[in-house]
């Protein structure tokens, strides 16, 4: 697929709402996936903290880069609120490692190459025969429940939306 067409395809993923999205109040499904540094990360590792669990289509694309930069820009504000940021896509750990190095990202990006976790969170999209993660985010509270869910988010303003919700919910 040519680069321009691929970029339009990845952008379009954000326009589709996923079915089977976990609902507010529901327990967040636990999982274990490899991160960009090769370590295994499980959702239960963050018990007692807020978790911004965001799914995104593809490393290195325009929207995904903007979204990641904004989370990185705001990371100190998340840390002040005892929150961690965890990104998930169907890209490989090598792709994540390269993306983090190139973009200066310090939070964990998890490789869901089998697409099981993305599907579990209603965040897998099949467009033109390609299965990639939808642009959805779940705010998981310190007890492991879904506190807020966003589907089809706008990469440029999403970090601010998550911070506003986190500030309100963490009171």
What is the pLDDT at residue 128? 84
Q: pTM to 2 decimals?
A: 0.88
What is the pLDDT at residue 127? 80
Dist CA 161 CA 166 (whole Å): 9
151 half-sphere exposure, CB direction, 13 A CA radius: 16
Question: Would you call 100 a catalytic residue per the annotation?
Answer: no
Q: Which domains does the chain have, with CATH numbers?
A: 3-169 (3.40.30.10)
| Cα–Cα separations (whole angstroms), residue 75 to 58, 64, 79, 140 | 21, 16, 6, 16
From 10, 43, 51, 64, active-site residue: 64
What is the pLDDT at residue 19? 57
Q: What is the pLDDT along the chain (171 residues), one digit of tens a residue?
A: 444 444 444 444 444 444 589 999 999 999 999 999 999 999 999 999 999 999 999 999 999 999 999 999 999 999 999 999 999 999 999 999 999 999 999 999 999 999 999 999 999 998 888 899 999 999 999 999 999 999 999 999 999 999 999 999 988
Could you tell me which of 119, 68, 74, 121 has the C-alpha nearest to residue 96?
68
Dist CA 128 CA 26 (whole Å): 32
Residues 6+ apart with CB under 8 A from 160: 70, 74
What is the pLDDT at residue 23? 92
CA angle 96, 107, 133 (to 5 degrees): 50
């Amino acid at each position: 697929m040519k680069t321009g067409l691929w970029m339009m395809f990845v952008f379009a993923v954000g326009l589709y709402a996923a079915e089977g999205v976990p609902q507010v109040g529901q327990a967040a499904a636990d999982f274990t996936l490899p991160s960009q540094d090769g370590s295994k990360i499980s959702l239960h590792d963050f018990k007692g903290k807020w978790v911004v669990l965001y799914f995104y289509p593809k490393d290195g694309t325009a929207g995904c880069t903007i979204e990641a930069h904004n989370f990185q820009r705001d990371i100190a504000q998340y840390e002040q609120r005892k929150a961690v940021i965890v990104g998930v896509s169907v890209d490989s750990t090598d792709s994540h490692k390269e993306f983090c190095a190139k973009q200066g990202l310090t939070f964990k990006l998890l490789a869901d190459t089998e697409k099981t976790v993305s599907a579990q969170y209603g965040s897998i999209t099949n467009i033109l025969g390609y299965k990639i993660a939808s642009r959805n985010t779940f705010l998981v509270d310190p007890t492991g429940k879904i506190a807020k869910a966003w589907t089809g988010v706008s990469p440029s303003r999403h970090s601010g939306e998550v911070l506003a919700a986190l500030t309100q919910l963490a009171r």
